Structures are given as structure tokens and as C-alpha cells.
Structure 1
């Protein structure tokens, strides 16, 4: 059986052609690459882009109805302040909303009075993974309908079919209570009960994942910033890493591989993540990827590319970056080309094209 390059990279099997996993929100680059106005003909534009750069694997809209152009762009601005004092910035073909996580919690006592398990149904609570977790079988049915019925309870052999979860553990309190209240309360002994309840919710989630016809589970938690850890190793080893080890053992026992995703500089916690059972890591360019590749034979890695280099749009600098990425791929068979800190709307289209084209030329073993 001939496996896809993406599957081989996930499994650390060193495909000859190094695949891509890109975080993409650059409409102007799409227009530039295809010659078709992204806003006038979004479907035609994506269809042409999929022909020219299939490695991006971008979704194709069902309809070709014109899309409104971003207001900020039309004003010649990259940000504005609304009537409530909220700050908005341009994002892809639209603009950001407000960071209002935890807006329903006013103080620490609100946090300690909250019971994740008693709540159960997070459908109307903005925590990214806003679902009803009170009934495990219903949760399974909700996820199962995302995959073909004919697959039964197993994905096709060699398939890259996956399921992803944004709140692997760390994001639950952060998104539920907001940054300030999370940091204010997380060291209090009363916080342990809250984390125990979040863990029980996720125990249900990962049991559901173990039954799905997928081969990979993408587990997201932003446990670090660009400068390193948010919480201490002691705190992480009490509340987070034991849960990872338990949850991932559930899906691994069902034959699935775990890929861990986090923003920031992962250097401090790489060994912990790998010890918990991850196949590899996708993160941002602040992380030392060559060090990880040398330590863990044929682990999966993605995110080494840096959009700050693309932003400067210097061909020599972009080429040097790609050459360095390809060098890492020679250390581990599980490498994917990836601009780890995103390809946002303000990256010059010419730089995007050069990155994709030089990768096509050089990203081979």
C-alpha cells in the first residue's frame, strides 16, 4: 500500500517529498497566486489555488458568492477601536472580536463557586470547545457524524483522518475564567477541585475519541508563551502532565497517535510532552526544533518556519530559512514544512509565493 507523504510524516517514516501543514489567513496572497480575486470569486480562487498549491489543502467554499472586503483594509487601517472601547485588528478576510473569556466571572469567589461537572453543558459558554459534556454517548454521536458511516469504528489504514481538541487540559480554566482570574486563583488549594472536575470532563472526551474512526488525535493546549512557560513545572506536573499521560494512553490503546500543538516556545516542556506519549509537536519558531529532532528519533515536528522572515520579503533570507528547515527534516523523518507563527493577511504575497516555490524546489529528502 502506498501511503501519502502527510501520513508518512506523521508517522516519522521520512517521505521523499516533505509535506506542508500551514496556518493560513492571507486572502491577498490567494489573489496574487491565482490571478482570481478572492473576494469576487472565493470558490474559483480556492479551486485554482488547490491546483497550483495542493500542499496547502485549504477548504473550498461550496458557493462562489462574493465576500465583503475587510472594513479595516478599506480604511487603510490595520486596527480600530469600537464604540465600547474594544480594540479590533484585521484577521484574514475579516477582523478579530474581543478577548472576553471569563466575562461572566467577576472575582475569585465566583471561580471557586463554579463546578465544571455540575455545569456539564458548555454549549452556551464561550470556551472554544463549547459542547454538552454531560452525556458521553451523545457526545460520541456528535463527533461520529463527522466521519463516513462506512468506516465503522476504524479509519482506513494509512489515512490521516484525525480529530482535534482545543482544550486538552490547560485551556479549560484559562478560557472559562479568563487570564487574570485563572492566574489569580490557580495556586489556591481550592483550585484542585476545579481541575479534577475538568479532568473528568476530558476523560469522557478521550474515551469518545478512542471510539472514533481516526488515526490521529491533535491535542492543543497553549501551555507556554513565546518566552516560555506560563505556569511552573511543579504546577504543570500536578495538574496537567498526569492528565496528558492518562488521556493519551486511552487513545493510544485504541491504536491512535497523538500530536501535541501549542503556541510559543516549547523548549522547557518538550521532554514532558514526549514522556506523556505524544508522537510529536507542532509549535512556533521560538522552539529549538533541531534539538528535539536530535533527541527523539523520527518524531513528528512542524512549525519551524518564521513569518517574521516572510514579512521582510528578502528572497535570500527566505531561502536560508527553508534550507534550515530542510536540514531539520534530515534529522527526523517526521518533519512537515510549516510557518509556525502563521501566514496572516499582512505577509507580502510575493514572499508567500517564494516560500511555497522554494519549498517545492528544496523540500525533498
Structure 2
């Protein structure tokens, strides 16, 4: 049985999917069982999805007709999910959008909308100093293979990252400005300071928020040297931009004879692609000591640091240890100075007592074994 669907130019054959793995062009779920399939291009749809009309209207849900549109990225006005879709339904008179699953639910069973909805996803738009436009609250849906390809078309990347922490946003509550491709975790937005009084990368001047979009020139972070998208903390005196996560990065300045300036110890979230001046390696997941002013970088194990030492404040020898987190609490402290420490950087450690100390806390008082 052949079938012509409004979203595809070839006729579709209804058959079992067999061992091939097809994603439905409608709901984007993997197909198990019989489906309408295009043999030439690998296009496939569930029978129930293929039965959806090109235009729908249900006055109790929305007063205007909703017409299909192919290949788009939307925040669905029913379930508040941000997703890439091969087929969406868009109001012909206003800005109302439905993703395909919610459109199917409205036609077949409106209770399914309630099942997809989430009490944390009430329609919310809000201003924020990180962006000049209103931001819309949403949940970023996990992506299928087809969804990833659609995102690559619109965003030039399938990895959607928060402008503040630079981590992926899939499966999280976030705020978005869709026209500007601006995405930020809700938690990052709520925790963002109005200014950074003393960044370890720029301790002498206060950093102020600077939103920007459609920048003609590429903006680079002074700390990690990577591209800054959409928002930065900025020093007007020095004309220096910083990622939010870099401006607030937790590290400490250490003095060492290998370099005339103080060195900052940086971890894996900031050192990708940075070469060690001693061994030349770039592919290192450990921390480095870095002078950003001179672009001097060196691994802790590539400079003269005692691998083990005794300290007057502890009974047992302390050993230089690669970055680690002793638990999943996200609250990590130096037992010597009793201040917060960054689990991305090297420490001195006593495994017998689970005693952890910053390198700079002990460097001036070590006695080589």
C-alpha cells in the first residue's frame, strides 16, 4: 500500500521496519513495527503520525487554525519544551506553535498534553540583565539523531551550551531568546552576580555585565582564549571580556621559581587546547599552572614540586595528587586554610585521613622527604 504524505515528495510504502532503525519524522521516536517508509531516502512515519492532517483546529485549545511547517526549532506553547522538529504546527495568524507530539495529543487525547506538561514549565517570560530581549522559560528536550541534524542546520552545532557555565543544557530548565540563539540555565541566571568584584584573572578592576548579540567581530575570553557568545563580564578600562564561568572561576595564585609572575592553577574546564611549555602536550586532562599575561603554561608535574612531604600541621606525609572530588556534595574545602577549593586542580592529599590541602597553602612550609 502506497501513501503520499504532505511532508514528503516521494510516495511511502507501508511495511515492517525489519532490522533497520528508523526515526519517525513526526514524533521523532524510533520506529518498532510497521510504518510508512520511503525506500529511497530513509524517511519514515508511524501510521498514527502519518494520519495527522496538514492543518488542525480545535477552538477549545486555540481559536485559530494551525498549519504544518517543516523543519523548525520552537518552544512549544503547550508543553513548554524547546526542541528541533521535522514537522510543527504553527498558527496562521499569531505566534502560537505546537510540536508534533502535542499536536497529536490535541487531536487524539487532550489528557496527553497534561501528561507531557510539567508544573515547573508554566509559561514565563522575563527580562534579565544578561540579554537585551525578554527570555522565555523552557525545558530543553533530549535530541534524537534527526533532531541533532536539524539543530546543526539552524545553530551550526548540535551541542547546545549555556552562555554562563558553558555546560550543555539538554534536559534542564533554561531560559532562551530564540531569535538570538541565547540559552542560559535557570540556575545560572538566578545565581549570576550583577558584577564581579575581584576575578582571579583580573583582580585589580571590577567586571561588569556586557550583553551583546550579532557581534561583527569575534569576542574572545581573556582567561580561556575561547569565543564568548551572547554575554560577558567586561573590564572597560582594559577592554577585556570574560566568560561568566571564567570570571567567577575558583583558583589561587601561586608563586614558583619557574616563572617571575604569580601562576594561577587552572582545571580541565578551562585548559582545553593549551600547551604545556615544558612537555608540549595539549591533550592533558589534569590541571596546569598558568600566567595569562605571558601565556605561560606548565603542568604541576613538569616543574619542581615535592611529590611527597611532611608538614607541621599534619601527622602523615602529604602526596601531590591529580584533581579529584572526594564525594558528590559539590562542596569541597582545603583542610589547611578552610576555604573552598576547586576539585579541578591538583592538591596535596593524605589518603589515610582524607586530608586535602591547596598546593600554595603548603609550598612555603614543606620539608622534602
Q: Shorter-chain TM-score: what band?
A: under 0.3
- The structure where helix makes up a greater share of residues is 1
TM (norm. structure 2) is 0.24
- The structure where strand makes up a greater share of residues is 2
Structure with the larger RCO, 1 or 2 (CA within 8 Å, 6+ apart) = 1
Decide which structure has the larger Cα Rg and report it.
Answer: 2
TM (norm. structure 1) is 0.24
